[in-house]
Amino acid sequence: MDTHMSKEVLEGLRRAKAQSLHRKDRLRVVVGEEYYPVLRSWDGGFSLDIEDAPHLRGTVEFCDGTRELYECLIVCSAQEGNEMVYEYKRVTPAVDQHPVDFEIADDAPVAYLGKSD
């Protein structure tokens, strides 16, 4: 079956697809104070909407809503249709505690209670 659609219809379908992808996922890439919604994500990288996506390069935060998942070193690799594709060079999981350089005993106290009068 051969179907021909006008440019306007194709552009409308592309925008509707992009909006539905934005609504489904809360994944975003944060660079400084700016953030960009992620369209697709896979093991080796992610893609952003070509209209929103600058040529990002360097360290970014990969977040789910406001929760940071990874700190990533990325490079812009290609443009595929209406998506800008980025590849990971390094992915480091985010941690909520700072690393320590000593062993913490299993029975160590978790708080200090002062003397009560």
From first CA to last CA, the distance across the chain in angstroms is 87
Tokens of 36: 């960009």
Confidence (pTM): 0.63
| Residues contacting 78, CB < 8 A, separation 6+ | 84, 85
User: Residue 35 domain-assigned?
Assistant: yes
Helices (H) and strands (E) in the chain, counts: 1, 6
Cα–Cα distance between 23 and 15 in angstroms, integer?
Answer: 12
User: Residue 65 domain-assigned?
Assistant: yes
Read off the CATH number of the domain in which 65 is found.
2.40.10.430
**Interval 12-36 mean pLDDT:** 76
Task: Give the pLDDT confidence score for residue 97 in this predicted structure.
Answer: 75
| Structural domain boundaries, residue 86 | 23-93
Give tens-digit pLDDT for 34-74. 889 998 899 999 999 888 777 888 999 999 888 889 999 99
User: Residue 109 domain-assigned?
Assistant: no
Q: How many domains does the chain have?
A: 1
User: Residue 105 domain-assigned?
Assistant: no
Beta bridge partners of 62: 29, 70
User: Residue 3 domain-assigned?
Assistant: no
Comparing 117 with 34, the larger pLDDT belongs to: 34
User: Residue 103 domain-assigned?
Assistant: no
